[in-house]
Each structure stands twice: as structure tokens, then as C-alpha cells.
Structure 1
Amino acid sequence: MSTSSNDVTDTATTAPSAPARRIALITGANRGIGRATAVRLARDGFDLIVTYRSHREEAEEVVREIGALGRVAVALPLDVSRVDGFGAFVDGVRDALGKTWHRERFDVLINNGGVQVAQPTLQATPAAFDQLVDVHFKGVFFLTQQLVPLIANPGAIVNISSGTARFYVPERAIYSAVKGAVEVLSRYLATELGPRGITVNIIAPGAVATDFSGGLLRSNEQLQKHIASITPLGRFGVAEDIAGAIAALVSEGNRFVTGQRIEVSGGVHL
């Protein structure tokens, strides 16, 4: 993975001076669940800071889509596996907040960015282990640590886990284990940030048809039918299902839920 320069993209829209809007920062928001969540939150009245590791053009399209909804968005490059780039990224966030919103803090952090490496447990490699830990746990841990001073009181953090932290899926041992680690971290953060009024919760998606895992579910009709057959709601998920759950969790009316794991899976493997 490569780390890009942490400059605000040229397509950032300009915020009006008043009234103050809630701002959410979503990692990995150029496609999939991150993109769907950014658009959903914009519809709900949020302004956005969206990040991308590559495919800047996708992030710029998200910024334009949010602008068309009458909201404001800024796109920043971020490689969540590279802790050594977080300082520059945080500086970029601080700069964007000041120049675009004339503010020092944002309201909601959604740690969504991720990758998938599928390997049988007994054949798993150290390289795959390190990659998944760096992206899904080490990155989440230290990025959150560095961004917490910029989160307003009260605020919210949502960490994305996986249904596979509860149920078995072949070749997902490392991925599921690091998602379990994020769930434990989230409960610790909920306790430590509670005095500031910052809620910390986990959304655990089930099988969702996105580009994740190479778009396996999205393009495999046989797998789609199988998932539907073992899911009480009778279908597989789409990105908008997860986006809706995240939006509900960070809404103004949901201030007393913290430290919770909410699975959005249609009830698969109950």
C-alpha cells in the first residue's frame, strides 16, 4: 500500500458560515459501505470528510454527489495501514476544518477503511497477518488515538467489525480475529471517552454485496442464493443497509447507546 500526499482535493465544496452543521469523517469512503454511508449522512444533514487510499477520482465523485445534496465535503488521501502517515493526515484534517468550516473539531468518526485477505488458518502467512492487523487494528487504534482530540463533545465513534467475529466463514481467521480485537478496543474507548459524552459503538455487517473480497458476493448468483437461504430476512445485504444502521447510531436522538456491538446481517446464522 502506498501513502499519498495529505492535501485537500480541488473538488472540496465551500461551507456556508451558518448554521453550524455536524461533520463526520469516514475512512475508505470512495466506494462500498463508506461511500453509501457518506451519502446517507449527507442526506441526514451532515457535512463530510471522506478518505481514500487510491482511486482519487471516486472520492472526488463522492464529494460532488454530496455537494449536489446541498452539503459540504472534503476528500483527503489516507493509507490506514501506515501509522507513520497519520500525523500529516491529522494536520490535513485540522487544516480542512479551519479552511472549509472555520472550526477546530468534527463530530463523528467512522473507522470503515479495510481490505480482505482470505487464507486457510493453517496456511496463513505472516505477510497476510501483518497486513490485516495493520489495516484493521493497528490503524484503527492509532488513527483514533490521534483524532480523538479533534472530536467535539459530545461526539460519536463507530468502528466497523464483521459478522464473522461471531460466526465461522472459511479462510477468514485472521480477518475475524482482528475484527474481534476492534470490538474489545471499542468497549475500552467507550469507557474512557464516556466522560466527554463521546459514544463508541460497533457495526458488524453480514454478507454485503460490494467491491470487498473482489466483489465476490456481488457477482456470484449461486452465493447470493445460498446467503439468502440461511438468512431470516431472505436476502443478502447491500451497502445502503449498513449505511442506514450507521446513520441511526450517530443520530442526535441516539446519545445513550455506547459500547455496543450491533450486527447488521439480516439475522444470518442465528
Structure 2
Amino acid sequence: MNKYTAVITGGSKGIGADLGQRLIVKGYDVVSLSRGAPEWSDARLHHVEVDLLDAAATEQAACEIAAAHNVTHFVHNAGIIWPNLVEEVNASDLTGLTQIHLGAPLILLQAFLPVMKANHFGRVMFNGSRAALGVPTRTAYSATKAGIIGMARTWALELAPHGITVNVVSPGPVQTDNFWDIIPKGSEREADLAKRIPVGRLGTTRDISNAFMFFCDPENSFVTGQNLFVCGGGSVGALSL
């Protein structure tokens, strides 16, 4: 197979944009799904505007993409945090984050699987989180990010006979808009957190896309069902955000 097409949710900025740009350099076509227009452009970038919190809209987008593209790589990168102490968590928080972190990738993968199986090739990846190990104020986020790991392992077992690998990249604190929505950019709190990470700094989008690039590689067919923490050592011990 000489031509690859990667679908990246949340590919308009941050980690998704960095990964998409790197894949295009390698000759891939990239389809980005997001609520807003991408902050970057390229002749090989295709954008689909969709709210992944909306299951019906996600299904429509999935069908359109599957009809127009021979999808070989699927990276579910999009996510939302919605932090709350346990007393303030609503059932709707769990419902919403379950849809975007688990429901949306299920809908999308189901649309892409027929071609992947026919080609006996596929790379499926999730953006997980170090928060799956537990972080204060992350009831719904931690629960659904932990769910990603279980779902990915199940898919890895089911899809391995079809030449399809499924893996998770779980970042620690990374300099993205999601992070700065919780911890102000350039704040004392941000600097203090960086000091408490074992490597002494926050992660960058490039740190995370490096891991995704490994899992994307067609030559890496013997690695599946894995969860790779890219967190500066934050998964080794306790880390409170």
C-alpha cells in the first residue's frame, strides 16, 4: 500500500495539527474533524466540521468520510476536560464525555473498518491521558479516559487478525489550549506544576506527536493494545494538577 489517509479528530490545532502536518510531510492525506476551521492549511488537508458531542452528526460525518476516502489511519485526538469536584459533577458530564471520548471513536471506526479489513491494514490510535490514573476534579474525564484504554485493548484483540493495530498515547500536562483553560498560561501555578514533573518541564505538542508517529508507522505492526504514557515521569508517582 503506497497511499495513506489519516483521519484525525481535533486536527485543527494543538497535538492534532502537529501530527497532521508531520503526516502530510510523509505523503499522507489528512482529514481533520473539528468544530472550527483548522488553524493551518495544506492542499492535502481536508476539513470536516462536526460536533463530536452530537452522535447523529458524528455518524453522518463518518459516512461521508468513508465514502470519499480510503481511510488507513484513524487517530481519535479530540477531547474535553470539564473539571468538577465530585460534589459538583452532573450525570450530564459523564454522558457528554462518554460520547466524545468513547462514542464518537466507535461510530467513526465502524465506518472505516470495512476498508481497513479489505486492505488487511489499519492503524487506530487514541489520545488518552495520564489522568486515567486519577487526578482531583476529573471524575468524568478520568473515567472516560480510563475507558479508552479498555476499549482500545478490546479492539486490539479483535482487529489484530485483520492487520489492524490499536494503541493509546496518554499525555501528562501538555502546553495546549485545553491545559491553559484549566491552568492559566504563564501563571505561578503553571511554573509550580512544571517543577513537580520529574523531568522538570511541561510537555509539548511535539512530544506527543512523536509517540503517535511511532504508532502510525506501517512498519510497526508488532505493537498493539498498548498504552504509552508520555508524561515526563508523571505516571510513576503522584501528581496533583
Deviation sequence 1:106-140 (CA, Å, 0-9, x none): 21000111112001112211222221112112222
Distance in 1 between residues matched to 2:180 and 2:190, nearest whole Å: 15
Which amino acid in structure 2 is aligned with residue 85 of structure 1?
A
Distance in 2 between residues matched to 1:138 and 1:90, nearest whole Å: 12
Distance in 1 between residues matched to 2:104 and 2:75, nearest whole Å: 13
Unaligned runs of 5+ in 2: 237-241
Deviation sequence 1:80-103 (CA, Å, 0-9, x none): 222212332123213432xxxxxx
Which amino acid in structure 1 is aligned with residue 189 of structure 2?
L
Aligned: 1:157 with 2:129: no
Task: Please say if residues 52 and 104 of structure 2, whose CA atoms lie closer than 8 Å, have aligned partners that are also in contact.
Answer: yes
Cα deviation, residue 213, structure 1: 4.5
Mapping of residues 40-189 of structure 1, within 5 Å? 40-53=22-35, 55-56=36-37, 59=38, 61-62=39-40, 64=41, 66-67=42-43, 72-97=44-69, 105-151=70-116, 152-166=119-133, 168-189=134-155
Deviation sequence 1:24-59 (CA, Å, 0-9, x none): 110111111111111122223322111111x22xx2
Q: Provide the residue aligned with 2:200 in structure 1.
A: 234
- Runs of 4+ in structure 1 over 6 Å off: none
Answer with 257-266 or 210-219: which moved more. Answer: 210-219
Aligned: 1:259 with 2:229: no
Distance in 1 between residues matched to 2:148 and 2:67, nearest whole Å: 28
Answer with 140-149 or 206-215: which moved more. Answer: 140-149
Q: Provide the residue aligned with 1:246 in structure 2.
A: 212
| Gap change, CA 1:126 and 1:27, over 3 Å in 2 | same
3-state SS, counterpart of residue 72 of structure 2 = strand
3-state SS, counterpart of residue 233 of structure 2 = coil
Which amino acid in structure 2 is aligned with residue 88 of structure 1?
Q
Answer with 254-263 or 35-44: which moved more. Answer: 35-44
3-state SS, counterpart of residue 167 of structure 2 = strand
Which amino acid in structure 1 is aligned with residue 156 of structure 2?
A
Mapping of residues 11-22 of structure 1, within 5 Å? 20-22=2-4
**Number of aligned residue pairs:** 234
Distance in 1 between residues matched to 2:220 and 2:235, nearest whole Å: 28
Which amino acid in structure 2 is aligned with residue 236 of structure 1?
L
Cα deviation, residue 248, structure 1: 1.3
Q: Provide the residue aligned with 2:239 in structure 1.
A: none
| Gap change, CA 1:123 and 1:217, over 3 Å in 2 | closer
| Gap change, CA 1:206 and 1:159, over 3 Å in 2 | same
Q: Provide the residue aligned with 2:159 in structure 1.
A: 193
TM-score of the superposition, structure 2-length normalised?
0.89
Q: Provide the residue aligned with 2:19 in structure 1.
A: 37
